[in-house]
Amino acid sequence: MRIIPGGASSRPLFSPLVKVAAVAGAALAMAMAPAQAQETVKIGLILPMTGPFAPIGKQVEAGAKLYMQQNGSSVAGKKLELIVKDDGNVADTTRRLAQELVVNDKVAVLAGFGLTPLALATAPIATQAKVPMVVMAAATAIITEQSPFIVRTSFTLPQAAVSVADWALKNKVGKVVTLVSDYGPGIDAENSFKARYAAGGGAVGAELRVPLANPDFAPFLQRARDADPKAIFVFVPAGQSATFAKQFVERGIDKSGIKLIGPGDVTDDDVLDQMGDVMLGVQTVHHYSAAHPGAVNKKFVEAFMKANNMRPNFMGVGGYDGMHLIYAALTATKGATDGEGLLAAMRGQSWESPRGPMTIDPRTRDVVHNMYVRKVEKKDGHLYNIETDTIPMVKDPVKEAKK
Ligand code: PHB
């Protein structure tokens, strides 16, 4: 009789019959091993899939899913599972969903984040849980500073806004009025444009801020016009550019000789064609155009349009690149999913994105990429942002100024 060490009982641990069953069970488990050995790595993708900002969620989700479709859903021997959650653009919901994904689903990565307030609300969860948070859409500069676990594949508004100022100075545009959405990215865009433009001797006539929810641009456009500028610098978030363009035309500003300039959110590829010829000639600066030349983007745009029946915009490419970053990090860690290891692997990653070359700044965990000066033109009967100039590998100017 076997004595169980430290045990109170002297009865055998297993009866012979149970032992046989256990051995058989182990053999069965070994036989099944190839199918089961592949552990699953879960990624929680939280986005506004309903409500006025659903177009952002749809683009990011489509980009992320396309990357998985093209690259297979296994990385470093692990199976990837994407869990998509709709936060309806409510920050408390984003935070609650993130918590549930971490606690219940044990996700290795949190991703998505359609608008700035949604990313900011979730940052403390990433820090507490030590789970990487890949921001694929939101674009206020401070976001990456809210947690050491945040990495960004979208863009920052100051990256584009300072380049718009440089372009406007170079082209002697003259007096500019700024009109922005009244929250993080809009205020970033206004501040960065104004500071750079003023430093170069440019004049800003008025600074107008429009509420984010259900915006009525008409009274602000009237005030902009009254200031008699040569150009209006506009930032509206993806999802609002078509409404803006409609009211711009209704006010007759397109015929007033006042130019429309700004970061490329206002000539969003997703809706540019529907905005109509009134957008022809609008000059913007941004990191992504569906018309960006090169084989990588051509393949991306074709596959995206085929899978989704819509043109990818800068949000779609943010989702695609965010998924690339997750794959690259898992490959580097050989499938290990501890948050700190994944974060370390994400820092400094460089790759060829459909947008062009792209790097995750190892210091700031923020995106570094080209800014392109573009002009809306017609190509094959459709409106596109045609790139005319490149400002190479721009870092977030707000973080560079703090160095
Ligand atoms: C943001 O909320 O950070 C945001 C949303 C849409 C954009 C740009 C920034 O087009």
Query: 63-98, pLDDT tens digit by residue?
Result: 999 999 999 999 999 999 999 999 999 999 999 999
Provide the residue count of the chain: 403
Which of 139, 144, 141, 155 lies closest to 122 in space, CA to CA?
A: 144
- SS3 (DSSP) at 140: coil
Rounded Cα distance between 237 and 313, Å, is 12
CB within 8 Å of 320: residues ≥ 6 apart: 63, 64, 66, 67, 300, 304, 312, 353, 354
Amino acid 304: pLDDT: 98
Asked if 46 and 98 touch (Cβ cutoff 8 Å), the reply is: yes
The finding on whether 345 has its CB within 6 A of some atom of ligand 1 is no
Phi/psi region, residue 276 (left: phi>0; alpha: psi -120 to 50; beta: rest), is: left
CA of 185 to the centre of ligand 1 (A): 6
Question: Residues 217-246: what's their mean pLDDT?
Answer: 96
CA of 75 to the centre of ligand 1 (A): 30
Asked if 266 and 244 touch (Cβ cutoff 8 Å), the reply is: yes
Q: Is 25 exposed, middle or buried (0-12, 13-18, 19+ CB in 10 A)?
A: exposed
The token duo for 294 is 């090169």
Cβ atoms < 10 Å from Cβ of 319? 31
CA of 389 to the centre of ligand 1 (A): 24
Q: Is 324 exposed, middle or buried (0-12, 13-18, 19+ CB in 10 A)?
A: buried
The finding on whether 266 has its CB within 6 A of some atom of ligand 1 is no
The finding on whether 236 has its CB within 6 A of some atom of ligand 1 is no
CA of 140 to the centre of ligand 1 (A): 7
Which residue type occupies 184? Answer: G
Amino acid 37: pLDDT: 57
116, 122, 159, 285, best to mutate for ligand 1 pocket (most atoms within 8 Å of CB):
116
CB within 8 Å of 377: residues ≥ 6 apart: 280, 281, 383, 384, 386
On the question of pLDDT at 294 being above 60, the answer is: yes
Residue range 348-403, pLDDT digits in tens: 999 999 999 999 999 999 999 999 999 999 999 999 999 999 999 999 999 999 98
46, 115, 154, 188, best to mutate for ligand 1 pocket (most atoms within 8 Å of CB):
115
Amino acid 121: pLDDT: 98
Which of 266, 300, 306 lies closest to 286 in space, CA to CA?
A: 266
Residue range 322-356, pLDDT digits in tens: 999 999 999 999 999 999 999 999 999 999 999 99
Please say whether the dihedral angle defined by the alpha carbons of residues 224, 231, 194 and 271, taken in this order, is positive or negative.
Answer: positive
Amino acid 171: pLDDT: 97
* Predicted TM-score (pTM) of this structure: 0.91
On the question of pLDDT at 4 being above 80, the answer is: no
The finding on whether 138 has its CB within 6 A of some atom of ligand 1 is yes
- SS3 (DSSP) at 388: strand
The finding on whether 115 has its CB within 6 A of some atom of ligand 1 is yes
Which of 389, 158, 226 lies closest to 208 in space, CA to CA?
A: 226
CA of 334 to the centre of ligand 1 (A): 34
- SS3 (DSSP) at 130: coil
Residue range 20-72, pLDDT digits in tens: 444 444 444 444 444 445 799 999 999 999 999 999 999 999 999 999 999 99
**Which residues are bridge partners to 110 per DSSP?**
44, 133
156, 265, 287, best to mutate for ligand 1 pocket (most atoms within 8 Å of CB):
265
CA of 315 to the centre of ligand 1 (A): 9
Amino acid 38: pLDDT: 73
CB within 8 Å of 172: residues ≥ 6 apart: none
Pairing label, strands 382-394, 367-379: antiparallel
| DSSP alpha helix (H) spans, 171-269 | 184-199, 218-226, 241-250
Question: Residues 122-138: what's their mean pLDDT?
Answer: 98
CA of 76 to the centre of ligand 1 (A): 33
The finding on whether 140 has its CB within 6 A of some atom of ligand 1 is yes
The finding on whether 265 has its CB within 6 A of some atom of ligand 1 is yes
Atom of ligand 1 nearest to the CA of 115: 2
Asked if 120 and 335 touch (Cβ cutoff 8 Å), the reply is: no
Residue range 132-143, pLDDT digits in tens: 999 999 999 999
The finding on whether 154 has its CB within 6 A of some atom of ligand 1 is no
Tell which wins on pLDDT, 36 or 229.
229
CA of 116 to the centre of ligand 1 (A): 6
The finding on whether 178 has its CB within 6 A of some atom of ligand 1 is no
The finding on whether 269 has its CB within 6 A of some atom of ligand 1 is no
Supply the DSSP string of 46-64, one letter for each residue.
EE--SSTTHHHHHHHHHHH
Amino acid 8: pLDDT: 36
**Confidence band (pLDDT; 50, 70, 90) for 5?**
very low
Asked if 150 and 277 touch (Cβ cutoff 8 Å), the reply is: no
- Nearest residue (CA) to ligand 1, atom 8: 237
Averaged confidence pLDDT in the chain: 92
- At 232, which helix (H) or strand (E)? strand 231-235
Cβ atoms < 10 Å from Cβ of 200? 12
The finding on whether 136 has its CB within 6 A of some atom of ligand 1 is no
